[in-house]
């Protein structure tokens, strides 16, 4: 197979949205299996990068598919396909979809991954300085997609999922969404510059403090806006001021470095609120969640992002692993003050 096919990993149940997005980006319709956790489509004239896509956790250019792998020797056909391509790789990952069926393949993926890496090393196909990573994606144990990913332009985690451990001190599990957002939506240099100790933040809909906790652990000063109670240990940090106010009516007295928002509200209403903060210069950067409707989720996503873009210099959005029926968005203001 020529390198004209894209393979995208996504959250199970969001294959349709992922396929719609890839079709818009590439100009070619894709195919998916409902609940399968992945989409395949022709690359078309434009192969979108991983960071450009909302619903794809990983987006890979496929160079070969091998079906009906013999149970007794799955390795040989894969090595032949890799050898025909002729490249060396920085690493090799064996992956399966993020589904119940894919989880059942996890032991196989671990074992086969070790065998594949060993065989590639013996064939001198592994080179730590190579620009690409080999992905062997098994939707089933007898069927594999082989892809070569640019290490710098692809998600740096197997399955496109950063594996995070819930911190016991955090007030709620929602804290993992913001931690993942910092990893996925910002790069290393941006995190270093934009999450510096002493910066200021507002957390709309903060209680009990899951998102505020992520900011405080980075020594940001936070104004938490919520009519509900905040976690006592978090308040004892001395870095949080809690105001019992309506998040939609609150206005800061002076611009802040960050606005974060995880309110259970209609997505258009949240998008319009964030756009107002950016346009007015009340915040320099923002990360917020949009709770998607049950129907027309892709259309609602596009509409909401279009509400934010006129007020923003940069917009990135992703359906994170720790999101459910929602997406998480990063935006920076056009006039950074």
Could you read off the pLDDT tens digit of each residue along the chain, which spans 337 residues? Answer: 444 789 999 999 999 999 999 988 877 676 777 789 999 988 765 667 888 999 999 999 999 999 999 988 999 999 999 999 999 999 999 999 999 999 999 999 999 999 999 999 999 999 999 999 999 999 999 999 999 999 999 999 999 999 999 999 999 999 999 999 999 999 999 999 999 999 999 999 999 999 999 999 999 999 999 999 999 999 999 999 999 999 999 999 999 999 999 999 999 999 999 999 999 999 999 999 999 999 999 999 999 999 999 999 999 999 999 999 999 999 999 865 4
Catalytic hit among 103, 165, 177, 291? 291
Q: Among this protein's residues, is 177 annotated catalytic?
A: no
173 half-sphere exposure, CB direction, 13 A CA radius: 6
Note whether 31 and 40 are within 8 A (CB).
yes
The H or E element that residue 64 is part of is strand 58-66
CA atoms within 13 A on the CB side of 260: 26
- Kindly give the pairing relationship between strand 326-333 and strand 283-291: antiparallel
Which pLDDT belongs to residue 42?
81
- The predicted-structure confidence for 110-127, as pLDDT tens digits, reads as follows 999 999 999 999 999 999
| Length in residues, the chain | 337
| Assigned fold of 175-333 | Rossmann fold (3.40.50)
Domain map (residue ranges) of the chain = 5-160, 175-333
Q: For the domain with range 5-160, which CATH number is right: 3.30.2130.30, 3.30.70.640, 3.30.365.10, 3.40.50.300?
A: 3.30.2130.30
Stated pTM of the model: 0.93
**Token digits of residue 9:** 């990993």
| Dihedral of alpha carbons 126, 128, 131, 136, sign | positive
pLDDT in tens, 35-61: 899 999 887 656 678 889 999 999 999
């Amino acid at each position: 197979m020529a390198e004209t096919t894209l393979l995208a990993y996504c959250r199970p149940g969001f294959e349709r949205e992922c396929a719609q997005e890839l079709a818009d980006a590439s100009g070619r319709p894709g195919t998916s299996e409902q609940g399968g956790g992945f989409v395949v489509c022709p690359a078309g004239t434009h192969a979108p990068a991983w960071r450009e896509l909302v619903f794809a956790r990983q987006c890979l250019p496929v160079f070969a598919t091998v079906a009906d792998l013999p149970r007794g020797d799955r390795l040989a056909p894969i090595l032949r396909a890799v050898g025909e391509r002729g490249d060396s790789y920085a690493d090799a990952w064996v992956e399966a979809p993020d589904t119940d069926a894919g989880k059942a393949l996890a032991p196989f993926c671990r074992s086969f991954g070790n065998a594949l890496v060993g065989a590639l090393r013996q064939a001198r196909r592994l080179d730590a300085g190579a620009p690409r990573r080999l992905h062997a994606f098994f939707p089933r144990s007898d069927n594999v997609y082989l892809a070569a990913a640019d290490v710098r332009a692809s998600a740096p985690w197997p399955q496109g999922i950063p594996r995070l451990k819930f911190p016991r001190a955090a007030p709620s599990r929602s804290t993992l969404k913001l931690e993942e957002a910092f990893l996925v939506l910002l790069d290393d240099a941006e995190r270093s510059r934009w999450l510096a100790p002493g910066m200021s933040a507002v957390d709309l809909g903060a209680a009990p403090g899951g998102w505020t906790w992520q900011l405080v652990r980075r020594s940001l000063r936070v104004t938490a806006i919520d009519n509900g109670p905040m976690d006592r240990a978090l308040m004892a940090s001395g870095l949080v001021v809690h105001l019992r106010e309506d998040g939609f009516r609150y206005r800061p007295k002076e611009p802040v470095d960050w606005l974060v928002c995880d309110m259970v509200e209609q997505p258009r209403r949240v998008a319009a609120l964030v756009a107002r903060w950016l346009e007015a210069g009340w915040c320099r950067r923002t990360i917020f969640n949009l709770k998607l409707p049950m129907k027309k989720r892709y259309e609602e996503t596009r509409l909401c992002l279009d509400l934010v873009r006129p007020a923003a210099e940069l917009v990135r959005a992703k359906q994170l692993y720790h999101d459910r029926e929602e997406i998480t968005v990063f935006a920076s203001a056009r006039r950074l003050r």
